Amino acid sequence: MAIERNTYTDILFDALMAAGCTIYGACAAMGNIYAESGANPRNLENLCEKKLNYKYTDDTYTEAVDSGKITRALFLHPLGDSRQYGYGFCQWTSAGRKAGLYDLVKSRGVSIGDAKTQTEYMLSELKTSYKSVWKVLQTATSVQEASDIFLVKFEAPANVGSAVKKTRASYGEQYLKIYQNQKKEENKVSKIENAVARAEAIALDDSHGYDQVDRWGNPNYDCSGLVIRCLEEAGIPAKSSGATYTGNMPEVLPKIGFKDVVKSVDLATGSGMIRGDVLLGNGHTAFYCGNGKLVHASINEKGTVTGGKSGDQTGREICIRSYYNKPWIHVYRYTGVTASASGTVNVRNYLQKGDSGDAVKEMQKMLIGCGFSCGSSGVDGSFGGATEKALLAFQAFYGLEQDGKYGPASKAKLVSVYNGKTAASAPEKKNTPSYTAGHEYTLQVELKVRTGPGTNYNAKKHTQLTADGQKHDKDNDGCLDAGTVVTCQEVRNVGNDIWMKAPSGWMAAYYDGKVYIK
């Protein structure tokens, strides 16, 4: 079989690139997969076909597993003894790895030969059990480098000699040539698609939460940090061209290939928007994902912009959700055509008199909370003379440059002082609630459902909830809606927190001193 581009290779390439591989790492993995299975997710090891007296083809074997004619036990050991044979993209062979694949597809109700599920399973293995391989795939600058480690440590066939390494790398080089030379209009992992896919992957990874101080992915983000960094890492030079927050994005984006199409879309419904549009307005920004969804960094578990626990504590700090109108002022669409090729983009990374929006409101709230009055208008989102006077007084009191501009130094100090004051004056926590198995309780907020009691356990997807649970997950994001009544099956204390098991899975009933289920 000649190496060629097809639906299966597109699925592999798109997923590997979106997950963060370099093009060399992605193509190296694909070269190894081609050597194992011909890049065919329904491939049964040829020796196994022979041992079964050619009773099955790749397709009929796959159908037999799907129907249950071939049981789980026989899938793990096709001859009914201890011998093991490969199946799928990566020719998974050991009973443990094949069991993981089998259980995953059965839980989702898809075919054992489903290419997307196999690709997801492979990525999960790489990220958890083969971290050294994954690191190289994300940083590789040559196919050979990535191909060798994928061969030796991930696939690990009996023969990993120099001739095998050379052959597998050559397959990867062929894929590299195919995917480097494809036409731009055919490129399914364009820069903007890559950026959106990165944002979606971050939203599904609970190690990333919301914070306006730790805002560049180490590990948390705020709204602009998420959008700007995802653009930058996808090859669109947003941050390196000067974009640092929502206030200066309108100055930068048009100069790096974006066009404001706000007049050609319906802001109320999202009609006319396409995947990858950058939504911006009133101190907030997000990516439009398509199909009536957007992805954004929203707020931390305390409902504040900083001071929460690191990571996503609610499943909604960074999330994919139904489209809504902020209202947005701009809808930037990537065209790839820069407005000017000369000079440096001059932008500012501070608020000043005359600005308005949510960022100004947040600054005013903290200034007032620290004892610096913003005048009779209070928190109105308008940076006027009274707000400027309050900021100058704050800068003078704490020995900062008195320029009346709310830049990185003033923001960092104000956030620090404000958090210290609010923490010192916070009321005592309420008495810890109690829960009893068999009783019914009501969700006070939308809650993520997990496979176990704690944030270290995986969050479930919509399809993994019970049928009744799916009815109470209206936006299909794997979270049960506020107001859902659940039956408590088990209660588990994790530190000072309380986790409740309901039919659909585990949820945080009492977390960080707050009651989420009662």
pLDDT per position as a tens digit, 435-465: 998 899 998 888 889 988 887 778 888 899 9
Whether 145 and 33 map to the same domain: the answer is yes
Whether 258 and 118 map to the same domain: the answer is no
The parent domain of residue 230 ranges over 203-332
Calculate the dihedral angle through the C-alpha atoms of 134, 136, 142, 147, rounding to the nearest 10 degrees: -60
**Window from 53-67, 241-255, 282-296, 352-366 with minimum mean pLDDT:** 352-366
Retrieve residue 416's tokens. 């620090």
Whether 173 and 227 map to the same domain: the answer is no
User: Taking a C-beta distance cutoff of 8 angstroms, is the pair 264, 332 a contact?
Assistant: no
Whether 149 and 220 map to the same domain: the answer is no
User: CA-CA distance, 288 to 274, in Å (whole number)?
Assistant: 7
pLDDT of residue 361: 85
Residue 188 lies in a domain: no
Whether 357 and 316 map to the same domain: the answer is no
Whether 482 and 507 map to the same domain: the answer is yes
Whether 444 and 317 map to the same domain: the answer is no
pLDDT of residue 1: 52
Whether 164 and 37 map to the same domain: the answer is yes
Q: Find residue 379's DSSP bridge partners.
A: none
Domain harbouring 488, CATH code: 2.30.30
Residue 337 lies in a domain: no
Domain harbouring 286, CATH code: 3.90.1720
Domain harbouring 398, CATH code: 1.10.101.10
What average pLDDT does the segment 144-149 reach?
Answer: 96
pLDDT of residue 66: 95
> Pick the residue with more confidence: 36 or 514?
36
Q: Which band of pLDDT confidence, cut at 50, 70 and 90, is reported for residue 425?
A: very low
Domain harbouring 165, CATH code: 1.10.530.10
Residue 468 lies in a domain: yes
Residue 431 lies in a domain: no
pTM assigned to the model: 0.41
User: CA-CA distance, 262 to 253, in Å (whole number)?
Assistant: 14
Whether 246 and 361 map to the same domain: the answer is no
Q: What is the number of structural domains in the chain?
A: 4
Q: Which band of pLDDT confidence, cut at 50, 70 and 90, is reported for residue 343?
A: very low
Residue 88 lies in a domain: yes
Whether 307 and 395 map to the same domain: the answer is no
Whether 282 and 376 map to the same domain: the answer is no
Residue 339 has pLDDT above 80, yes or no: no
User: CA-CA distance, 55 to 484, in Å (whole number)?
Assistant: 51
Q: Which band of pLDDT confidence, cut at 50, 70 and 90, is reported for residue 337?
A: low
Residue 357 lies in a domain: yes
The per-residue pLDDT for range 29-66, each reduced to its tens digit, is: 999 999 999 999 999 999 999 999 999 999 999 999 99
What average pLDDT does the segment 334-357 reach?
Answer: 63
User: CA-CA distance, 148 to 35, in Å (whole number)?
Assistant: 13
Residue carrying the six token digits 């480098």: 145
Q: Which band of pLDDT confidence, cut at 50, 70 and 90, is reported for residue 513?
A: confident
Residue 432 lies in a domain: no
Q: 351 in helix, strand or coil?
A: strand
Residue 429 lies in a domain: no
Q: Which band of pLDDT confidence, cut at 50, 70 and 90, is reported for residue 131?
A: very high
Q: Which band of pLDDT confidence, cut at 50, 70 and 90, is reported for residue 278?
A: very high
Query: What is the rounded average pLDDT for all residues in the chain?
Result: 88
Last residue of a domain, one of 301, 332, 363: 332
Whether 10 and 137 map to the same domain: the answer is yes
